[in-house]
Amino acid sequence: MHTVVHTGASTPGGGQAPASRSRVAVAGATGYTGQELLRILGRHPSVSITAAMSSGSASGAARPLPALARLWDGQVTPLSADTLAHAEVVFLALPDAAAAELGPSLIDAGVRVIDLSGAFRLRDAAVRSRWYPETHRVPEGVAYGLTERAREAVAAARLVANPGCYPTATLLALAPLVSAGILAPGADIIVDAKSGVSGAGKTPSERTHFSECHGNLSAYGVFNHRHGAEIEQGVGAAAGPAAPGMNVTFTPHLVPLDRGLMATIYMRLKPGTTEQALAEVFEQAYAGAIFVRLVGSSLPEIKHVAHTNFCDIGWRVDPSGRAILVSVIDNLLKGASGQAVQNMNVMLGIDERTGLL
């Protein structure tokens, strides 16, 4: 049952509850992230789903999603840009090329967009052309939607580029320390990350075949994964333009889980930096951040965050100045659809917990 929203009522986070539900639409509703969006939005007290569409425009009969019965009983229809333009906020859970084409046209039509593809995440044109060559136009008003570190930009954005799953877990743990300037100068940063199979999307491949994944652990995209560029961009932004460049080595791994992601991050700190110093940096960075849970030396586990929008961060420091951070998220929620709804809440000026807790 939906919560009744009264005109002028204030939400727990201080934002005003809307007098009427905001109209939202989802393109790419049959994929993993698209279905998670419908699962959340179907119970969200401040929005109404006006359309849920597949990722293609080929003709076909509308169909329900049995897994969402009684949560959302609508029909998934073929992709139609004209229909999407009637919404106030559109979520694009589409392949990169489709999002790159559709996003700017929706912005031109006055629609606000939250894009879960990578099409608009990279700011540097040369870097973007390498990893996302389909993106020929980046509209004005794009914000990189790592919510806890970009609320003001997200609130004002016309298009939010929702971060990738690996960058979300990595940058939430790493960026505050980089901004605080406590890493040793010139030290390498190593990101050893592991994700469940759903992170590869719904389209099957040999790598995601059951007999290839079950009982197996494999590295992939070594020195050749687009999330590496996204992580480097985030580290550079956290360091600031005057800071020397930092080398980030990122290696993703596929693990036989349906969902969940762990990033283990290795670095060296300035002499004398203690675990308590890290705790103080994190506590200041995430004061009031409901979806970031700091666990210190306890170290988090994937099961602690599965099916939630939380990011749990733990850390340890040895006497020589070596530090290890462990950051865990649900790759489909905090790493995709949950963070997208969190960004929508910020864009609409309502409590960012709405629909997620």
* C-beta separation of 330 from 338 below 8 A: yes
Taking the C-alpha atoms of residue 244 and residue 226, their distance in angstroms, rounded to an integer, is 22
Residue 205 has a CB neighbour count (10 Å cut-off) of 9
Taking the C-alpha atoms of residue 298 and residue 10, their distance in angstroms, rounded to an integer, is 37
* C-beta separation of 175 from 150 below 8 A: no
Print burial letters for 14-25: b (CB count within 10 Å at least 16), e (below 16). ebebbeebbbbb
Strands of the sheet containing 159-161, edge to edge, are 76-77, 47-53, 22-27, 89-92, 112-115, 159-161, 142-144
Active-site residue, from 41, 165, 328, 344:
165
Helix (H, G, I), strand (E, B) or coil at 196: coil
Q: Which DSSP state fits 266?
A: E
Cα dihedral 56/62/66/71 (nearest 10): 100
* C-beta separation of 158 from 113 below 8 A: yes
Cα dihedral 129/339/314/237 (nearest 10): 40
Taking the C-alpha atoms of residue 174 and residue 242, their distance in angstroms, rounded to an integer, is 18
Taking the C-alpha atoms of residue 349 and residue 329, their distance in angstroms, rounded to an integer, is 25
Taking the C-alpha atoms of residue 177 and residue 238, their distance in angstroms, rounded to an integer, is 9
Active-site residue flag, 311: no
Active-site residue set: 165
